[in-house]
Amino acid sequence: MSLSPDELKELARYVLLTRPDEIGCDDWLGYAPSYAELVAALQPISEPLQKAAGHLVLCPECAEEFLALLAALKEDGAGS
Protein backbone atom coordinates (compact mmCIF):
# COMPACT_ATOMS: atom_id res chain seq x y z
CA MET A 1 0.00 0.00 0.00
CA SER A 2 1.51 3.31 -0.98
CA LEU A 3 1.04 6.60 0.80
CA SER A 4 -1.91 8.60 -0.49
CA PRO A 5 -1.45 12.22 -1.60
CA ASP A 6 -2.92 13.34 1.74
CA GLU A 7 -0.50 11.15 3.67
CA LEU A 8 2.38 12.47 1.56
CA LYS A 9 1.25 16.02 2.31
CA GLU A 10 1.41 15.22 6.02
CA LEU A 11 4.82 13.65 5.52
CA ALA A 12 5.96 16.78 3.63
CA ARG A 13 4.87 18.88 6.61
CA TYR A 14 7.06 16.77 8.88
CA VAL A 15 9.96 16.87 6.45
CA LEU A 16 9.84 20.67 6.61
CA LEU A 17 9.93 20.52 10.42
CA THR A 18 12.82 18.03 10.47
CA ARG A 19 15.91 19.18 12.38
CA PRO A 20 19.25 17.42 12.65
CA ASP A 21 19.19 17.31 16.46
CA GLU A 22 15.79 15.85 17.35
CA ILE A 23 15.36 13.68 20.42
CA GLY A 24 13.46 10.39 20.46
CA CYS A 25 10.31 9.38 22.34
CA ASP A 26 12.12 7.61 25.19
CA ASP A 27 14.41 10.60 25.66
CA TRP A 28 11.43 12.95 25.71
CA LEU A 29 9.85 10.90 28.48
CA GLY A 30 12.76 11.93 30.71
CA TYR A 31 11.96 15.63 30.20
CA ALA A 32 8.18 15.35 30.24
CA PRO A 33 7.55 15.39 34.03
CA SER A 34 9.49 18.57 34.78
CA TYR A 35 8.17 20.26 31.63
CA ALA A 36 4.60 19.33 32.58
CA GLU A 37 5.00 20.72 36.11
CA LEU A 38 6.34 24.03 34.79
CA VAL A 39 3.61 24.32 32.15
CA ALA A 40 0.89 23.42 34.68
CA ALA A 41 2.24 26.04 37.11
CA LEU A 42 2.72 28.62 34.32
CA GLN A 43 6.39 28.87 35.26
CA PRO A 44 9.20 29.95 32.92
CA ILE A 45 10.79 27.13 30.92
CA SER A 46 14.55 26.83 30.56
CA GLU A 47 16.00 26.83 27.07
CA PRO A 48 17.19 23.19 27.09
CA LEU A 49 13.74 22.10 28.23
CA GLN A 50 12.07 24.20 25.53
CA LYS A 51 14.34 22.61 22.98
CA ALA A 52 13.44 19.12 24.20
CA ALA A 53 9.75 20.02 24.04
CA GLY A 54 10.21 20.62 20.31
CA HIS A 55 9.68 16.85 20.14
CA LEU A 56 5.97 17.45 20.75
CA VAL A 57 5.66 19.29 17.43
CA LEU A 58 7.04 16.30 15.57
CA CYS A 59 5.49 13.47 17.53
CA PRO A 60 1.68 13.37 17.74
CA GLU A 61 1.76 10.41 20.10
CA CYS A 62 3.98 12.11 22.69
CA ALA A 63 1.89 15.27 22.24
CA GLU A 64 -1.29 13.32 22.96
CA GLU A 65 0.26 11.74 26.05
CA PHE A 66 1.52 15.12 27.22
CA LEU A 67 -1.96 16.68 27.06
CA ALA A 68 -3.30 13.72 29.04
CA LEU A 69 -0.53 14.18 31.60
CA LEU A 70 -1.43 17.86 31.96
CA ALA A 71 -5.05 16.86 32.54
CA ALA A 72 -3.89 14.48 35.27
CA LEU A 73 -1.79 17.19 36.92
CA LYS A 74 -4.25 20.05 36.60
CA GLU A 75 -6.99 18.54 38.69
CA ASP A 76 -4.34 17.41 41.12
CA GLY A 77 -3.94 21.02 42.27
CA ALA A 78 -0.52 21.33 43.86
CA GLY A 79 0.14 17.67 43.18
CA SER A 80 0.64 14.91 45.70
Partner 1 sequence: MTARTNEDWLRLLGEAEEAAVAELREVLHRGLRRALAGRAAADDGFIEDVTQDGVLKVLGGLTTFRGDSRFTTWAVTVAVRVAFTELRRAKWKDVSLDRLVEDAPARHPPAPPEVPSQDARQAVLAAMHRIIGTVLTDRQRQALVAEFKGMPQAEIAVQMGLTRNALYKLTHDARQSLKRGLEAAGIDGDEVRAAFDL
Binding site for Zn ion (CB under 5 A): 25, 59, 62
Q: Are 59 and 17 within 8 A, CB to CB?
A: no
Q: Which does 41 bind (CB under 5 to 8 A by kind): Zn ion, partner 1, none?
A: none
Residue 50 sits in the site that holds partner 1 (CB under 8 A)? no
Give the closest residue to 79 by CA, choosing from 36, 49, 46, 44.
Answer: 36
Calpha distance 62→56 (Å, rounded): 6
The site for partner 1 (CB under 8 A) is made up of 1-3, 5, 7-16, 18, 20, 22, 24-27, 29-30, 32-34, 36-37, 59, 61, 64-65, 68-69, 71-76, 79-80
